[in-house]
Amino acid sequence: MIIDNSSSHDGKQCAINIDNLSINYGSKSVIRQLNLSIKQGAITALIGPNGCGKSTLLKCISRLIKPTHGSVTMADNTDVHQHPSRDIAKRLALLGQSSQAPEGIDVKTLVAYGRAPYLNQFGVLKESDHQQINKAMHQAGVEDLADCYLDQLSGGQLQRVWIALVLAQDTDILLLDEPTTYLDISHQYDLLELLITLNRSGKTIVIVMHDLNQACRFADELIVMRQGEIINQGTPKSVFTEQLLKDVFDFNAIVIDDPQSLTPMSIAKLAPLSTQASEPTVLMKVAQA
């Protein structure tokens, strides 16, 4: 699939351009000659089966992995791997999959580290930095937790605190690697709604997602990957088909419209497994007696 590097097909500006990118781990090739542009101001979801290279791609965009070949550039052609890392950190933030919380620091201190790219050697915060930190904590809804220590927080709260940290970084582009993984269902939707709010305020968001129906519901654009290559890119409606699920995920499903958002959603086609649909078993009869 060939995509023009300077702008995507519908003429919108591109936030990130990936040109002929290959990544090898040792002799194993994880991503092969990949070309991609990510639309500015959109929510783009990266989906694909386990090991397809979607997390690797995100890590490469955020400079955690160096490309073996090819380049990742931003809207003004700055190569993220060549340019000083601090400058890139003012434009592009990553929320990784497993962030470790250090011992003995409180929420406000952690969020303040998001200002690191703007600070001097000794990390002295100026008034404007304090404003950004407070704004980030407000957006992520963790103001009330400002003085709490990290080990007092629940998983959902902790994830919001990490979000506040990347918001304090004040970047135009936000990359998130499966941010909903350890959250219960209501916190998942809280977080996705927060991302939509941020997107409306102008941020470009790229998110690796496991839950396909959530991806369809929240993303403007889907990028489907398999074995280090891009299989398809486009709006959920144009991309998310029964055929695609079969080809890419080896998943037999029907695709219907989500009754609430009218975006596509998948439902597995399986023989009935649950006991609810069949005759009561011997054990159930015993239990009743």
Partner 1 sequence: MSKNNVLCFFALALTLAGFSIWHLAAGAVYIPPSAVIATLQSSNTEHHFIINNFRLPRMYIAGLVGVALGLSGLLVQGVVRNPLASPDILGVTSGASLSVILLAILWPHAPLHYIPWAALVGGFSATAILLLLARKLLHRPAAFALVGIALSAIFGAAIDYLLIVNPLEINTAMLWLTGSVWGRNWQHVPLIVPWLVVLIPIALTLAYRLDILSLGDNTATSLGNSVTQLRIFSMLIAISLASAAVSVCGSISFVGLIAPHIARSLFGARHLLLIPTTAMVGAVLVISADLFARILIPPIELPAGVLTAFIGAPYFIYLLCRDQQW
Q: Which of 33, 82, 92, 24 is nearest to 61 (CA)?
A: 92
- Considering the complex, state which of residue 50 and residue 98 has its C-beta at the smaller distance from partner 1: 98
Task: Give yes or no for a contact between 106 and 150, defined as CB atoms under 8 angstroms apart.
Answer: yes
Task: Give yes or no for a contact between 194 and 163, defined as CB atoms under 8 angstroms apart.
Answer: yes
The SS3 assignment for 47 reads strand
Q: Is 234 in the site for partner 1 (CB under 8 A)?
A: no
Q: Can you list the alpha helix ranges (DSSP code H) found in 90-219?
A: 107-112, 127-140, 155-168, 185-200, 212-218
Task: Give yes or no for a contact between 49 and 249, defined as CB atoms under 8 angstroms apart.
Answer: yes
The b/e string for 226-240 (b: 16+ C-beta within 10 A; e otherwise) is bebebbbbeebeebb
Q: Which listed range, 1-9, 10-18, 21-29, 85-93, lies at the site for partner 1 (CB under 8 A)?
A: 85-93
Q: Would you give the binding string for partner 1 spanning residues 101-130, x where CB under 8 A is met?
A: -xxxx----x--xx-xx-x-xxx-------
- Tell the residue number behind the tokens 């434009």, with chain if given: 91
- Residue 262's φ and ψ, nearest 5 degrees, are 60, 15
Q: How far is the CB of 99 from partner 1 (least distance, A)?
A: 6
Q: How far is the CB of 171 from partner 1 (least distance, A)?
A: 10
Q: Is 96 in the site for partner 1 (CB under 8 A)?
A: yes
Positions in 157-196 near partner 1 (CB under 8 A): 165, 169
Q: Is 87 in the site for partner 1 (CB under 8 A)?
A: yes
Out of 85, 131, 197, 275, the residue judged to bind partner 1 by CB under 8 A: 85
- Considering the complex, state which of residue 8 and residue 171 has its C-beta at the smaller distance from partner 1: 171
The count of residues interacting with partner 1 (CB under 8 A) is 32
Out of 9, 12, 69, 86, the residue judged to bind partner 1 by CB under 8 A: 86
Q: How far is the CB of 221 from partner 1 (least distance, A)?
A: 23
DSSP element (H, E) containing 285? helix 282-288
- Considering the complex, state which of residue 175 and residue 222 has its C-beta at the smaller distance from partner 1: 175
- Tell the residue number behind the tokens 């396909």, with chain if given: 212
Sites of contact with partner 1 (CB under 8 A): 59, 62-64, 84-90, 92-94, 96, 99-100, 102-105, 110, 113-114, 116-117, 119, 121-123, 165, 169
